[in-house]
Amino acid sequence: MTDETSQRRLDDLLDGLWVGQERMTQAEIHRRAVAAEVPADLLTRINAIPEGEYAVDEVSELLGGSSG
């Protein structure tokens, strides 16, 4: 997967996860990412996020996305 494709997939995932949500726990982000069948590289990056609650812009920054 190219960097651009991976970036687009990450941005789409983050945009989709936060519909109707202001903040989300790392565990919920992971659960939804698994359900969305994200590529292994993105799942690995999500697993590396410290436990806690995050807004979409915070997770985007941690994962290198451009959503927010």
Report yes or no on 68 lying in a domain. Answer: no
Report yes or no on 46 lying in a domain. Answer: yes
Tell me how crowded residue 16 is: count the other CB atoms within 10 A of its CB: 11
Distance CA 63, CA 68 (A): 12
Structurally, the chain folds into a number of domains equal to 1
Report yes or no on 23 lying in a domain. Answer: yes
Token pair of 12, please? 């789409």
Token pair of 45, please? 């990056």
> In which residue ranges of the chain is pLDDT below 70?
1-3, 65-68
The whole-model pTM stands at 0.77
Q: Could you tell me the sign of the dihedral formed by the alpha carbons of 4, 46, 16, 56, in that order?
A: negative
Output the pLDDT for position 17.
Answer: 80
Domain extent at residue 28:
3-63
Report yes or no on 12 lying in a domain. Answer: yes
